[in-house]
């Protein structure tokens, strides 16, 4: 009798575990096709840019991009229906939010400043610490983060599945109306990949050479300074060094400890080290693009630098030189200090302003579809 009961209990446990595993599998992925279908979308690659990173399992399509655009601006992704991805990524602010630290639902502050969203098709790591290896992975993280949208993917799936609009959008993009987390991540990633910024005055003068000279010759002097040891900006943001990304690029130019944190402050935010466990990566953060810097302030992962004047002053004399500071920064006079003239700082600022892409800031293809 005891054996019979024992076998019965064991049988029930096996069934429960099997059922639980099936449910888990359905939430994480689906047995349904997750590769987008529909009209192929050709991403226009700016002259001088390298080939973009587009996963074979998520080819760009008009329909999936349309779905992703809706999802990016969809407030039902948040637990209380109050916020969307776009709440912390405003187009007129180069898809940042202008705040020192971003705020999630219920006004909770996030740990770091919101990053810009453009030219992500040419990036390999995402978030300041690079913890996401793909846009597909990155897209789902803020939804679940307790300080951001603080929602469950099951809840998002249930909400969207009931809406006739999304039933059609998912059918158009994936062949049927089933909503899954994988499909949500792929669609948002597609929309983010097609957001491109490459139409600044800098692009016209330097990259394309369709314009003979900068309108303000101070910007030319600033570019020359930026690209030389005098300004020493080119190591991380050089046009030729980064294939015009002016940001993280390639295998060896992804993360840097630029001296924004003291040794003590580095213990509170270890940056890339938190992902890799390597102390050599202490407080290294992803190198952001200086494109559209005029509109993407405040700067740094912690939003500690409020404007362009403060940014230039920081790189002139405000660095923390620690054992973990990037050698290219720490080498300056051995102290991380420069003595730029007032005119030189004005030139740098003029050049930074020449990196503004006004068409990107107002392109309706990137704005809310609602």
pLDDT tens, residue by residue, 52-65: 999 999 999 999 99
pLDDT, position 337 = 65
The pLDDT-based confidence of 171 (bands split at 50, 70, 90) is very high
CA distances from 30 to 49, 60, 81, 234 (A): 35, 20, 25, 45
Using DSSP's 3-state secondary structure scheme, residue 286 falls into: strand
pLDDT, position 21 = 38
The answer, as to whether pTM is greater than 0.95, is: no
Long-range (24+ apart) CB contacts under 8 A made by 51-59 are: 52/121, 52/122, 52/193, 53/121, 53/122, 53/123, 53/124, 54/121, 54/193, 55/134, 55/136, 58/136, 58/186, 58/189, 58/190, 59/35
Distance CA 201, CA 45 (A): 18
Domains with residue ranges and CATH for the chain: 22-196 (1.10.760.10), 201-358 (1.10.760.10)
Residue 6 has pLDDT above 90, yes or no: no
pLDDT, position 330 = 73
pLDDT, position 4 = 46
Using DSSP's 3-state secondary structure scheme, residue 39 falls into: coil
pLDDT, tens only, 336-345: 568 899 999 9
| Average pLDDT of the residues in 291-316 | 97
Of the two residues 364 and 9, the one the predictor is more confident about is 364
Of the two residues 87 and 5, the one the predictor is more confident about is 87
17-21, 197-201, 259-263: least confidently modelled range: 17-21
Strand stretches in the chain, DSSP E:
255-256, 285-286
The position carrying tokens 């690209």 is 227
13-17, 208-212, 232-236, 243-247: least confidently modelled range: 13-17
The pLDDT-based confidence of 32 (bands split at 50, 70, 90) is low
The pLDDT-based confidence of 8 (bands split at 50, 70, 90) is very low
34-43, 182-191, 279-288, 361-370: least confidently modelled range: 34-43
| Average pLDDT of the residues in 124-140 | 97
Residue 23 has pLDDT above 60, yes or no: no
Determine what percent of the chain is predicted with pLDDT higher than 90. Answer: 84
Determine what percent of the chain is predicted with pLDDT higher than 70. Answer: 89
Residue 15 has pLDDT above 80, yes or no: no
Distance CA 227, CA 119 (A): 21
pLDDT, position 11 = 46
| Average pLDDT of the residues in 293-320 | 95
Most confident of 1-5, 35-39, 305-309: 305-309
pLDDT, position 318 = 83
pLDDT, position 335 = 55
Using DSSP's 3-state secondary structure scheme, residue 103 falls into: strand
Residue 260 has pLDDT above 70, yes or no: yes
pLDDT, position 327 = 86
Of the two residues 34 and 160, the one the predictor is more confident about is 160
Distance CA 343, CA 222 (A): 10
pLDDT, position 174 = 97
4-8, 97-101, 209-213, 279-283: least confidently modelled range: 4-8
The pLDDT-based confidence of 273 (bands split at 50, 70, 90) is very high
């Amino acid at each position: 009798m005891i054996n019979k009961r024992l076998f019965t209990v064991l049988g029930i446990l096996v069934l429960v575990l099997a059922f639980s595993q099936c449910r888990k599998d359905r939430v994480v992925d689906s047995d349904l096709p997750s590769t987008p279908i529909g009209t192929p979308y050709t991403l226009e690659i700016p002259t001088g840019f390298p080939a973009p990173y587009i996963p074979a399992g998520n080819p760009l399509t008009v329909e999936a991009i349309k779905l992703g655009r809706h999802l990016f601006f969809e407030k039902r992704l948040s637990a209380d229906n109050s916020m969307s991805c776009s709440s912390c990524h405003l187009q007129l602010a180069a898809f940042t939010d202008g705040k020192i630290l971003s705020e999630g639902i219920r006004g909770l502050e996030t740990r770091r400043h919101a990053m810009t969203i453009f030219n992500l098709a040419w990036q390999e790591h995402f978030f300041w610490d690079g913890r996401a290896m793909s846009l597909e992975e990155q897209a789902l993280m803020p939804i679940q983060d307790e300080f951001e949208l603080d929602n469950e993917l099951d809840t998002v799936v249930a909400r969207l599945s009931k809406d006739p609009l999304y039933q059609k959008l998912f059918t158009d993009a994936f062949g049927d109306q089933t909503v899954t987390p994988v499909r949500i991540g792929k669609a948002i990633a597609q929309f983010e990949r097609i957001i491109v910024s490459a139409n600044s005055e800098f692009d016209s003068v330097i990259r394309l050479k369709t314009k003979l000279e900068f309108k303000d010759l101070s910007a030319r002097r600033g570019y020359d300074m930026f690209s030389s040891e005098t300004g020493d900006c080119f190591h991380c943001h050089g046009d030729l060094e980064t294939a015009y990304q002016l940001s993280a690029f390639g295998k060896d130019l992804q993360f840097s400890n630029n001296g924004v944190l003291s040794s003590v402050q580095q213990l509170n935010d270890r940056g890339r080290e938190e992902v890799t466990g390597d102390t050599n990566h202490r407080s290294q953060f992803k190198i952001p693009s200086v494109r559209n810097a005029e509109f993407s302030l405040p700067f740094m992962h912690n939003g500690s630098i409020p404007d362009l004047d403060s940014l230039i002053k920081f790189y002139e004399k405000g660095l923390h030189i620690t054992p973990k500071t990037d050698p290219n920064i720490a080498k300056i006079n051995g102290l991380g200090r420069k003595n730029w003239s007032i005119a030189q700082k004005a030139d740098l600022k003029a050049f930074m302003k020449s990196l503004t892409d006004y068409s990107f800031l107002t392109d309706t293809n990137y704005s809310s579809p609602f």
